[in-house]
Chains A and B, each alone.
Chain A
Amino acid sequence: MSVKYVPVQWNSNKYWYDLALIALVATYILVFLNIAPQYLDHSKPTDGSIVRARAFGTCAFLMLTAILCIGPLARFDRRFLPLLYNRRHFGVLTAIVALSHALFVLDWYFNYSPYPKLEGLLGANTSYGQVLGFPFEIFGVFGLLCLGILAATSHDFWLSFLTPRVWKAMHYLIYPTYLAIVAHVALGALQSQNNPTFSLLVGVSVALVCGLHALAAWKEHSPAKSVRAADDWFVVGDVSEIAEGRAKIAVLESGDRVAVFRHEAKLSAISNACAHQNGPLGEGRIVDGCVTCPWHGFQYRIADGCSPAPFTEKVPTYRLRLDGTTVMVDPKPNAPGEYVQPVPVPEAVS
């Protein structure tokens, strides 16, 4: 969280995250450059430039696979949440590694082209009507362009400027990007491999990404919706279902989600969507009296949905009432930051 924009909001967690990431990438590249040529049976002779292009290309593909696995893994198991915390830096590094791959390719395969290198890349093979020998390079160009857009719009300013919904919609580009990169690899590098290692690697990556996302989509498919009462309020559940410092998420008929928190024997409700990246606030917990988003640690006061000073983020609040021990929520959201009196939990049920 920051009041004014800064280039990068560093903290010790991000330093360690980025250091580990850079160390892993450097190790992979070094190992690939020194070991791969001896063990990978390339069907055509290779030299240093080709091996460097393949080292960076495979690294970018594996990084993209890891990035796409983090989201669903964090939904299944909270232990993966630390990986989600700085995923945008992971994405920026992936774009840099992918760009390095593209530059090595351009500098080798199109170095002696009579045309400018990029023109040579786009115009050397235009057999778009055939499967075998399809100009797979175009998929790589598309993927790199998308990774560039995602990396270039990863600063928090873009989230605030575009709104989280538009920003997320744009960052859905990561999915067609993965499709394009698999096409680029399958119709390109894998066509000239005698050694099954790469095919196996790509196959496992594809199975992992598709399996995890399909499973996550299935789990989200039909969430249990709250029941509407006669006065149009919705049933959240029994008060005993909400643990101290935690929330229960109510799904309204409209699809909106409300996080009902219990803190110091009182109940309060705020929107489940964090103002930063729409992270699930109801899956977070209360730290220092504030609801803390499990994704990036943004905090909100429980009664008015405002971030503590000097921060300025706000989320909508909701009115609550208790019918016996049943928690009821008014589906009409209050304006972001509007104070709502917390509902005391009777001692008999607390």
Chain B
Amino acid sequence: MEDAAIVLSVARWWLYAGGIVAVLFLGFGIDRIDENARGSYIFRPLLVPGILLIWPLVLWRWLKLERNHHDISGRYNPLRQAHGPTWMVLAFLIPTLFLGALALRQTWPKDAPATLLAPPAGAAQR
């Protein structure tokens, strides 16, 4: 249980850090880097869960945009090539996993038919 407590503690601190980033980004940063967000406030609470979860990515993009680094090629360059190799692997891995798990399936003890055990050799009945 100690390991589980450590994992949960790390997760808690991750979310705290995300909370700080959310306050800073939604309070100051978003208006500086996205003109469509200026004057729009109602949608901002919807961004909080995302910032809590991926705040390092938010910081990285925020910094990039603050430096006026608008990545034009990233906007018109679809991620097409990764789909094929990904599914060549997954189309093998997923069915193998499913069929393997079925093949290894245990029979529950209560499902096994009752059998009468023979007495050990030499055992005498009183």
- Chain B residue numbers with a CB within 8 Å of A175 are 86-87, 90
Decide: A210 near B74, CB < 8 A? Known: A187-B101, A191-B101.
Answer: no
A168 to B2, CA, bound (A): 37
A191 to B37, CA, bound (A): 50
Decide: A191 near B105, CB < 8 A? Known: A119-B4, A169-B79, A315-B76.
Answer: yes
A168-218 residues at the B interface, CB under 8 angstroms: 168-170, 172, 175, 178-179, 182-183, 186-187, 190-192, 194, 199, 202-203, 206-207, 209-211, 213-214, 216-218
Q: Does B118 contact A (CB under 8 A)?
A: no
A271 to B104, CA, bound (A): 51
Q: How far is the CB of A337 from chain B (nearest CB, A)?
A: 11
Q: How far is the CB of B3 from chain A (nearest CB, A)?
A: 7
Q: By the criterion of a CB under 8 Å from any partner CB, how many residues of chain A are at the interface?
A: 75
A333 to B90, CA, bound (A): 35
Decide: A3 near B36, CB < 8 A? Known: A152-B53, A161-B61, A175-B86.
Answer: yes
Q: Does B122 contact A (CB under 8 A)?
A: no
A34 to B109, CA, bound (A): 29
Q: By the criterion of a CB under 8 Å from any partner CB, how many residues of chain B are at the interface?
A: 58
Q: Does B124 contact A (CB under 8 A)?
A: no
B74 with A164: CB separation less than 8 A: yes
Q: Does A79 contact B (CB under 8 A)?
A: no
A162 to B101, CA, bound (A): 38
A3 to B105, CA, bound (A): 55
A192 to B111, CA, bound (A): 11
Decide: A191 near B43, CB < 8 A? Known: A5-B36, A172-B86, A214-B87.
Answer: no
A183 to B78, CA, bound (A): 30
- Chain A residue numbers with a CB within 8 Å of B114 are none
B36 with A160: CB separation less than 8 A: yes
A126 with B76: CB separation less than 8 A: no
A149 with B53: CB separation less than 8 A: yes
B47 with A155: CB separation less than 8 A: yes
Q: Does B57 contact A (CB under 8 A)?
A: yes
A43 with B111: CB separation less than 8 A: yes
B35-54 residues at the A interface, CB under 8 angstroms: 36-37, 39-40, 42-43, 46-47, 49-50, 52-54
Decide: A213 near B80, CB < 8 A? Known: A7-B46, A191-B106.
Answer: no
Decide: A220 near B84, CB < 8 A? Known: A6-B40, A155-B46, A206-B98.
Answer: yes
B72 with A336: CB separation less than 8 A: yes
Q: Does A35 contact B (CB under 8 A)?
A: no
- Chain B residue numbers with a CB within 8 Å of A312 are 36
A148 with B104: CB separation less than 8 A: no
Q: Does B121 contact A (CB under 8 A)?
A: no
Q: Does B20 contact A (CB under 8 A)?
A: no
A119 with B78: CB separation less than 8 A: no
B95 with A220: CB separation less than 8 A: no
B84 with A217: CB separation less than 8 A: yes
A164 to B80, CA, bound (A): 12
A7 with B98: CB separation less than 8 A: no
B: residues with CB less than 8 A from A are: 1-5, 7-8, 33-34, 36-37, 39-40, 42-43, 46-47, 49-50, 52-54, 57-58, 61, 65, 71-72, 74-84, 86-88, 90-91, 93-95, 97-98, 100-102, 104-106, 108, 110-111
